[in-house]
Amino acid sequence: MVAQVRRFNRVVTQQVGALNDRFLARDRPLGESRLLWEIGADGRDVRSLRTALDLDSGYVSRLLRSLESAGLVATEPSGADRRVRLARLTDAGRAERRLLDERSDELAALLLATLPERQRERLVAAMAEVERLLTAATVRVAPADPDDAAARHCLRAYAAELNARFEGGFDPARSIRADAADLRPPAGLLLVATLHGAPVGCGALKLHGAEPAELKRMWVDESARGLGIGRRLLAELERHAAEHGAPAVRLETNAALTEAIALYRSAGYAEVPAFNAEPYAHHWFEKPLPPQA
């Protein structure tokens, strides 16, 4: 297995990696091309560029100066905070970026060009699978405080999604509460999944001593579905619950959340009679946990 991965790395970095860079750097230094690309059509503040590309502030500054003197980029102070500067593409810069775009398309087409139709389809399908799973492999799941920026983003997105999907909307005030304190150890646990630093999912647990633990706030961003993040969050939370002596995990859910219900069922949850009076719930599930040694 490891040998196959290494073979893959070798072939792909040679074939794709090298070509990619050569295509991107057309007479201009690679760093500048990358920056040009990252600025994007709508402009972007220098600070976010720095963190996105993980570069030294002095270095970014110099690259911007160079792009500026080439007439591709213009910078201006940002309106809100006049310390940060905003980089925008000029018309020439936009044209250059479009060109990079076309070259990337050409490169992609070139990779496919020599293959007959059937193999081409198989290659693209396999690429999609590799990309999906490699992305999944870089998702990090870690405990977070409910007041963290990432955690709050997730919890807001969670409420917004319920509101959008429930028939008649979702009003948190009518629902059974789960305050920040309930999701913080030792009372509970909040896990946040991040991809390249951006929050893409969460899930929480409320512990009740020797009583079953409650599962709360399961949410995965639309852009990150299909990567098995929900399943990972669920497994981690169950492990945590078991470690803290919970004999089972239970949860309530709304009929509109069909994927979530499918996930619970496939993870071994069985439907049980209502164990609380949550007004938004249609189904109640429970899964016994193995007792800890």
Residue 134 contacts its own copies per CB under 8 A? yes
Sign of the dihedral defined by the CA atoms of residues 161, 166, 168, 170, in that order = negative
**Token pair for residue 223?**
């852009």
Choice between 57 and 292, CB closer to DNA: 57
When binding is defined by CB under 7 A, the residue of 83, 118, 174, 177 that contacts DNA is 83
Choice between 69 and 114, CB closer to its own copies: 114
Answer whether 72's CB lies under 8 Å from 100's CB: no
Measured between alpha carbons, how far is residue 42 from residues 73, 88, 233, 252 in Å?
12, 7, 35, 43
Q: Which residue carries 């999907």 as its tokens?
A: 165
Q: Could you say which residues in the range 7-46 bind DNA, by CB under 7 A? A: 25, 28-32, 45-46
Choice between 51 and 69, CB closer to its own copies: 51
5 makes contact, choosing from its own copies, DNA, none, with CB < 5 to 8 Å by partner type, with its own copies
d(CA 16, CA 21): 9
**Token pair for residue 261?**
């219900």
Residue type, 74: A
When binding is defined by CB under 7 A, the residue of 6, 10, 65, 231 that contacts DNA is 65
* Beta carbon of residue 81, minimum distance to DNA (angstroms, whole number): 5
DSSP per residue over 234-281, as a string? HHHHHHHHHHTT-SEEEEEE-TT-HHHHHHHHHTT-EEE---S--TT-
When binding is defined by CB under 7 A, the residue of 14, 41, 59, 138 that contacts DNA is 59
- The site string for its own copies over 86-115 (x = CB under 8 A, - otherwise) reads ------------------xx-xxx-xxxxx
* Beta carbon of residue 84, minimum distance to its own copies (angstroms, whole number): 26
d(CA 75, CA 94): 14
Residue type, 219: W
3 state SS of 22: helix
1 makes contact, choosing from its own copies, DNA, none, with CB < 5 to 8 Å by partner type, with its own copies
d(CA 118, CA 134): 24
Choice between 11 and 274, CB closer to its own copies: 11
Choice between 134 and 210, CB closer to its own copies: 134
- The site string for its own copies over 31-70 (x = CB under 8 A, - otherwise) reads ----------------------------------------
Residue type, 92: A
d(CA 216, CA 276): 14
Contacts with its own copies by CB under 8 A lie at 1-9, 11-13, 15-17, 20, 104-105, 107-109, 111-116, 119-120, 122-124, 126-131, 133-140, 228, 231-232, 235
Where do contacts with DNA occur on this chain (CB under 7 A)? 25, 28-32, 45-47, 50, 55-62, 64-65, 75, 81-85
